[in-house]
Every structure is written in structure tokens, then in C-alpha cells.
Chain A
Amino acid sequence: MQPLLSQACWDTLYMVGWSTLIAVVGGLPLGILLVLTDRGGLLQNVLANKVIGQIVNIARSMPFIILMVALMTFTRWITGTTIGREAAIVPLAIGAIPFFARLVETAVREVDGGLVEAVQAMGGNTWTVVRKVLVPESLPSLIASTTTTIVALIGYSAMAGTVGAGGLGDIAIRYGYQRFETELMWITVAILAVVISLIQFAGDYAARSLHRRGGRSGPAPKLRLLKASTATSKTV
């Protein structure tokens, strides 16, 4: 039982870790682009904004299990297989990119336009604005968004068991639901709860300590993002 569980833990972390990394790398620029290309944005381009927005919406409203099936060809092309951990990372990451991008968009929109203007008045270009203003000023919110994404990914990764990727969720379903080994199921549920709490705690702590340093007034970004994530999780 012990090796089974530790293998499952490791599988979950592996899948979630890689897919989070890819989601951040892909979602961050996408979210920023959504803000910049919007009406009145620095790179205003209404058509591009509509197109990106639509793609993000469609991808985000796709149930994960369907996404996994729909992406099979693509997954095989990337990883050479459609089963196992590596194969699960592809749909997880692709599902999480638009999810994270929307959170990034919300966070970046919160940045005071006056700061953008100040940097423009200093002679900064759009790239400078992104690097020196948009990202650092929304960092606490971005960290909170990442936490939300990780937690959501842990949830999705349970479904990845259906393609033989293993992981904690897979154990809970296979042993608990299908074989009525409730003890094992409860243990995995407990482990999941602890892992999620730890991640949430670490994320909140990081966001809050940055936030305190900046000391801005207004509600903590966490609350806003939690609201955003409950709204989005309905459509997932």
C-alpha cells in the first residue's frame, strides 16, 4: 500500500508540476495580450482581441474529459503515446492555459493606468510597460492565480487516471469507487486535502507577503480570484 501511494503522489506532482509550468508560460503572455489588444490598450487590435478571447472561451468551457479525447491525436504527435503521465500532461496543460490566461487578464486589468502612463511619459515602450509595470505590479494577484490553477489542476489530474496516468485521484477512483476499499480511498482523500491546503497556504503566504510589502489598499487579490475561480469552475 505504501509504495502504491507514494508512486501515486509522485505521479500527481509530476503531472501537476509540468502542466502548471506550461500553463504559466503559455497563459501569462496570452492574458497580458488580452489586456493589451483590448480597446484603449497599448496594442489595441479589436480583431485579434476577439479571436484570442473566443479561443480562450471555447477552450475553457470544454469539459476536461472531452478535451482529453479531442486532443488525442495532438498528444500522440507530441509525446508519441496517448497513455501514461506524459500523455496526460498535454491535455492538462492545454486546458489550464486559457484558465490561467483569464485569471492573468483580470489581475493585469487591476493595474492602475496612471502607472502605465508614467512609464510612457518616461519614454518607455510597450515591452517596458509589461516588464516594469504590468507584471511586477500584479505579481501578488498572479501568484494567487497560479495557486488557483494548481488546485484546479490537481482536480483535473484525477480524471487523467482514465488514460492510465496514475496519481492520487486515480487510486481513489479505482480502489475506493470500483473495489470498495474505502480505507485506501479515505487515505488518498486525506492526502489530497493536505496537499491542496499546503499549496493554498504557501500561495496565499507568498501573495500576501508581497502585497504587504507594496502595502496597497483594497481587498486582497485572493478573495477576488477565488470568486473568479468558482465562477469559472462551473464551466469546466
Chain B
Amino acid sequence: MMHCTMDDVLALAAGEGSAWARQHVAGCPACRAELEALYQRVAQLKALPVRRPARDRWPAVRNAVVAERRRRRERWGVSGLAAAAVLAGLLVFRPFWTKPVDAAELARVKEQSATLEQQLQRYDPNGRVTSGRSAALAAALEDRIAVIDGELAQLGPAQAQARPADLVTLWQQRVELMEQLVSVHVTRAAYVGL
């Protein structure tokens, strides 16, 4: 007698068995046992214990992300100045729906941000021994700056024009955070005797 192949049994389990296979399995104890064994294997596989990683890989992910953001921010710092000039022009020449003061303020905070960025580049974050606390503080500030950069990136040119005040606020926040970051690095440098 011809029995079901494993393909037939799998198809039956998936509810896609051929007419022949369905009829055969109804009258064949061996093939029914085969189907039952398949169900059991699948059930046992599903019930296998969940394994957990022995090591925490989040710090590695986090470090890679922070490093990527820092690189992006450095590029942003340079191109930011050019963008500021363009945007300032845009805002000045459309005075009906925006306050010119926004443009001036925007240009000012962006320039401030770029200056701070240059200042920060003098402090190589990996180059010297630091206290864990200031390193953690610097990392926390960098995270917050990265969040603001994310928001700035999401504010496309169209939205930026429509909401100049938001843009200025974000840049102001960025400058504040960067000032804090610089002061952390300055303190740190003093601490290690630089």
C-alpha cells in the first residue's frame, strides 16, 4: 500500500492536503500516527525553553549609535552655518508671516552652536582618562543633543518655514546643552591636569 510522504503529512497539517491524502489518512493508522507525531514535534519545538543572552550587548549598540551621531553632528555643525545663512535670508524676505527677529536669532544661535562644536572638537572624548561620572554626564548631554538633532532633521524646510519659532527654540536648546557639554569637558580637562 502507498503511504503519505512527509510532504503529504506537512500539507495535511497545514490544512492543504490533497484529496487523496485526506482520504488515505482517514483509513490508515500508520499515516495518522505520522501526522500525530508531526503535531507533537511542532508542539515540543514551540515549548522549548527560551534562552537568554549571557552578555549585555546594549552598551555596544549604544556606543556605536552615539559615535554615529557624533560624526553626523560634526558634519551638521559645518553645513549648519551655510544652512543658517540660507534660512536667515528666507525668513527676512518673508516678513508677512514671520518675525524678522526669528531670523536674526536663528542665525545667532546657529553660529553659537557651530562655535561650541569647534570648541568641543578640541576635547577628544576617548583620548584621556576621565572620571566615570563626568563621562556619564557627557554621554547624557550628547544623547539629549542627538534627540534635538533628530527633531531638527525631522523639521523639513517646509515645516521650518511654517514654524520658525520652533526652529529657534530647538537651536537654543541645542546651544544650551552644548554649553553644558563644553563645561563638562573643560572641568574634565582641568581635573586631569591639562
Partners in one complex: no
Q: Which residues does A use to contact B, with CB under 8 Å? A: none
Q: Which residues does B use to contact A, with CB under 8 Å? A: none
